[in-house]
Amino acid sequence: MALLISGLAVGLLAILYPLLVITLAVVQLRFLTRDGQTVGKKVLGIRIVRIDTGQNGGFVTNALLRTVLNWILSGIPFYAAIDILFIFREDQRCVHDHLAGTRVVKAAYDL
């Protein structure tokens, strides 16, 4: 009986975990597109804006250029270290910010 319950728990977890991951990804993508913020950025009170307009970049800028392109480039050796070190420059923009034409600013609103 315990083996059956254990098997059911593992099966249920195998179904629920991917659904949870997909749900979180959709929520993050929605927030990035609509507000220029992830859940973490909302908590920290910061958001992403386009450098040229100061406005939210939307799906293409925030999700594709800034996030997906950065993820692809992370396969290059030492890219992550270089990207992180860019934060210490005067403009405090990382490589992915330069590539996407964005910057992180304090949000004008809270959660």
| Structural tokens at position 98 | 């330069």
Phi, psi of 106 (to 5 degrees): -70, 135
DSSP code, position 67: I
3-state secondary structure at position 98: helix
For Cα atoms 66, 70, 75, give the angle at the middle one, nearest 5 degrees: 170
- The model's pTM is 0.77
pLDDT bucket at 54, cuts 50 / 70 / 90: very high
pLDDT bucket at 2, cuts 50 / 70 / 90: low
pLDDT tens, residue by residue, 12-41: 888 899 999 999 999 999 999 999 999 999
| Structural tokens at position 65 | 């250029």
